[in-house]
A and B are shown apart, each in its own frame.
Chain A
Amino acid sequence: MPSPSHSAEPAWSDPDRSLSPAAAHAVVEALRTILPADSVLSSEQELHPYECDGLAAFRQVPLAVALPRTEAEVREVLLTCRQHDVPVIARGAGTGLSGGAMPHPCSVVLSLARLNRILDIDPVARTARVQPGVRNLEVSEAAAPYGLYYAPDPSSQLACTIGGNVAENSGGVHCLKYGLTVHNVLGIRGYTIDGEIIELGGGALDGPGLDLLALSIGSEGLLLVATEVWVKLVPRPALARVVMASYDDVGKAGEAVAAIIAAGIIPAGLEMMDRKASAAVEPFVKAGYDLSAAAILLAEADGTPDEVAEEVSEVERVLRQAGATAIAVSGSEQERLRFWSGRKNAFPAAGRISPDYYCMDGTIPRKNLGHMLKAIEEMEVRYGLRCMNVFHAGDGNLHPLILFDANRAGEWERADRFGAEILELCVQLGGTITGEHGVGIEKINSMCVQFSPAERAAFFAIKKAFDPHGLLNPGKAIPTLRRCAEYGKMHIRHGALPHPDLPRF
């Protein structure tokens, strides 16, 4: 029998729960009464582009898509969905990699793409107030005339929106020094599912009560819908240079990363690629990577010219001491960008050398990087699939790219299990199943490995406090007890990680 805490699990978490055709029709009609005709999509053809986000393996056509232009319209959409008791899936640019914006079949997708105005830039206080549909890079472009920029730079920054970044607590290649979204957002204004306005934080650096702002960032659209975001702008460094080092062993490269940190240096970026990754990108970008190296490290120094010169020589010294077989330092901005181009093109390169690839996103303590890479090599043999590795090494954040062909029977399933095993090893090594891409629908089973039933009950209680009816992005981010029990059973079948402590019902 379920204990009382389980009652906090929302009914819409069940992906099979359905709506009668009449009820579905009523929802669409109601949306049409509150929004202009071009703001409601409901035909099969119109809905098709919204069936998935950046994780195309998971697809589901929604009931309708609402494209409001104003905050007031966002509120109306929420109230309508609340009245009709149907789920709401907030969506930015749809670049997410964990299926966080994948619709529920009975849901209304609330696209915030048309709320795309930069409302205010205050160059003196170094803040910007933007709508959620503003693209990440747009903020930095608008701040550039003042010598300022918005620091978090996820690789999709050309397309991804600030609203999506807030939902996922997005990172990027510079977060070791400059922080994640949570460190760079000062406030959110938005609505609860009941249409109540909520302001968390704002122009000041702190405020009274619980830090609901920190709680909301990375909440994957489960708690509220943001309609305005205050972000912090920081001065652009005068100069950046990158040091590229080759290692003949991935373990040594991992130790070199630890050595840099131990020397008291926090580089602006610290990235690593294995030989498979550099071999995949080099033919396309001609970055000049050392293809004989087992691993390449990229370390960026930024600041004033004198400061950069000092840090570069220090980084070079540490990397050599850690056994680098070759070192190159960017001599110009053009060369710096060329060194980075390969790393930044790792995902597209995987797409060129393989029909499909599956990008993982675990984080582990840095000291275990070598251990993890060896384990992945062993898994490649066992699953019969190749895997190339790029890491935000400074943060211990891994992006193994598992290569597969979805048209070959069984390959996607093998890739999926391969990925799940990597994530389980991340947890065993003291890390986490997602560093920056979010749980979404993709890693929902792996959440059962990382959190106890009581911890998941706490997550559901938080969800319920904000969204008592369970309508905001249900079925994502937090697995129900039943789902974890089923995942546990599946794993017993595969002979790994049983959950004997879980009640079955």
Chain B
Amino acid sequence: MREIQERVIDANRSGAPLRLRGAGTKDFYGERLEGEVLDLRSHRGVIDYEPSELVISARCGTPLSEIEALLATHGQFLAFEPPAFAGDPTIGGVIAAGLSGPRRLQVGAARDFVLGAKLLEASGEELSFGGRVMKNVAGFDVSRLLCGSLGFLGIITEVSLKVLPRPRCEHTLVLRLSAQDALAVFNRWGSLPLPISGAAWVEGSAWVRLSGAAPAVRAAGQRIGGDSVDAVAAADFWGGLRHCTHRFFDDATIWRVSVPSNAALAPGDKLLIDWGGALRWYAGESVGARARALASGAGGTALCWRGQTSGESRFHPLSRTVAQLHRRLQQHFDPRAIFNRGRLLAAEAGA
């Protein structure tokens, strides 16, 4: 930790940017990479885990696999299903990126599970926000602000996360449906008290995962119909979505579009639907700028996940007021923009 602190203080003195890095599974993610790598994997280890408190606290460099293995010994898990891609990210990277898997539909996003975090500012001082309790409204919610911040405000050195018991029973069904019909049934089922923990569509099939008490899963399965998927194939499919390792993601150009779950579909695109319709992935060169117009029109946003953007930013542009707030916040936490310069905001320059 002292070594990390010294590197930060030096960088803040010289103004030379640092590129914060855990296992590097998300090197592709963000506007651009700039600066000398600061490897955070040495600051690792679970600090505290009490299953009956439903909380785990760990240093940023702790591998996700270590945390998941520990939770599994008590029948618990990180319910937001963070993507590991093809590797083993650190928990700091997981929270800094703030990405969530297919279960987000039922349980909420990464940020919903953040209870507390420590932040190393550019000045080299470590601040603590939030805590290890479920309800906490003392001070601004900085720990949730850090989730998805991509290092913009500083280094997340420690996190406390809410964990949940694994569902007692899980069952996946698959139905042959058009994307249009899948979207309609996902929205219809969403307004019924059904234990749906995954609702996705790709290549002509709608996949529905049910999680909860056995009687509820059984009853919901009868209502939904379709064909049962065995546990291995189900784990393979949902894992492929969670980690973006499904063959759909092999395409050289991928856009990620976040919209209201009932937004109209664009015809003729290579499409994967997740989160019951609220997350749409488009593949192929032809998507490009259309994805952005499509998202804006539906009240959502589009992110160029992979491929060329023809000069625009990868993330959906921020409004002028919101962009200004980003700059003002950075002015306090990282006035010389030494952390991950240009990764969250394309136009960012050093000072």
Interface segment among A13-21, A102-110, A193-201, A337-345: the answer is A193-201
Which residues, 193 to 223 on B, are CB-close (under 8 Å) to A?
Answer: 193-195, 212-216, 218-219
Interface segment among A43-51, A131-139, A208-216: the answer is A208-216
Contact check, A212 vs B145: say whether CB atoms are below 8 A apart.
yes
Contact check, B135 vs A363: say whether CB atoms are below 8 A apart.
yes
Is B272 interfacial (CB-CB < 8 Å)?
A: no
Interface segment among A61-69, A175-183, A492-500: the answer is A175-183
Residues from chain B with Cβ under 8 Å of A147 in the complex: 191-193
Contact check, B53 vs A367: say whether CB atoms are below 8 A apart.
yes
Contact pattern, A 203-229, Cβ under 8 Å of B = 1, otherwise 0? 111111111101101110011000000
Closest A residue to B218 by beta carbon equals: A306
Contact of B109 among A202, A206, A438 (CB under 8 A): A206
- Within the complex, what minimum Cβ distance (angstroms) separates A239 from chain B? 9
Contact check, A397 vs B135: say whether CB atoms are below 8 A apart.
yes
Contact of B321 among A198, A207, A431 (CB under 8 A): A198
- Within the complex, what minimum Cβ distance (angstroms) separates B121 from chain A? 8
A397 to B111, CA, bound (A): 21
Q: Which of A192, A237, A363 has the most CB of B within 10 A?
A: A363
Known: A147-B192, A203-B260, A206-B109. A477 touches B139 (CB 8 A): yes
Known: A199-B319, A366-B53. A432 touches B344 (CB 8 A): no
Is A452 interfacial (CB-CB < 8 Å)?
A: yes
Known: A125-B187, A204-B300. A465 touches B329 (CB 8 A): yes
Interface residues on B, range: 35 or more
What is the count of residue pairs linking A and B with beta-carbon distances less than 8 angstroms?
275
Which residues, 436 to 487 on A, are CB-close (under 8 Å) to B?
Answer: 436-439, 443, 447, 450-452, 454-456, 458-459, 461-466, 468, 477-478
Residues from chain B with Cβ under 8 Å of A183 in the complex: 108, 112
Contact check, A266 vs B164: say whether CB atoms are below 8 A apart.
yes
Residues from chain A with Cβ under 8 Å of B194 in the complex: 235
Is A37 interfacial (CB-CB < 8 Å)?
A: no
Is B47 interfacial (CB-CB < 8 Å)?
A: no
A222 to B140, CA, bound (A): 10
Q: Which of B109, B260, B279 has the most CB of A within 10 A?
A: B260
Contact check, B259 vs A169: say whether CB atoms are below 8 A apart.
no
Residues from chain A with Cβ under 8 Å of B55 in the complex: 365
Interface residues on A, range: 35 or more
Is B38 interfacial (CB-CB < 8 Å)?
A: no
Which residues, 250 to 295 on A, are CB-close (under 8 Å) to B?
Answer: 258-259, 261-262, 264-266
Closest B residue to A430 by beta carbon equals: B132
Contact check, A306 vs B139: say whether CB atoms are below 8 A apart.
no
Residues from chain A with Cβ under 8 Å of B315 in the complex: 208-209
Closest A residue to B299 by beta carbon equals: A203
Is A245 interfacial (CB-CB < 8 Å)?
A: no
Closest A residue to B219 by beta carbon equals: A304
Residues of A within 8 A of B (CB): 8, 122-127, 146-148, 168-169, 171, 175-176, 179-180, 182-183, 192, 196-200, 202-212, 214-215, 217-219, 222-223, 235-238, 258-259, 261-262, 264-266, 303-304, 306-307, 309-311, 363-367, 392, 394-397, 430-439, 443, 447, 450-452, 454-456, 458-459, 461-466, 468, 477-478
A-B contact pairs, 13 of them (CB 8 A): A169-B141, A171-B135, A205-B278, A207-B301, A209-B326, A211-B98, A214-B111, A217-B141, A307-B215, A430-B132, A458-B332, A459-B139, A463-B140
Residues of B within 8 A of A (CB): 50-55, 75-76, 98, 104, 108-109, 111-112, 121, 125, 127-129, 131-142, 144-145, 147-149, 152-153, 164-166, 168, 187-188, 190-195, 212-216, 218-219, 258-262, 275, 278-279, 298-301, 303, 315-319, 321-323, 325-326, 328-329, 331-333, 344-345
In the complex, besides A395-B134, A432-B131, 5 extra interface pairs with C-beta distance below 8 angstroms are A208-B301, A259-B52, A306-B215, A459-B142, A463-B140
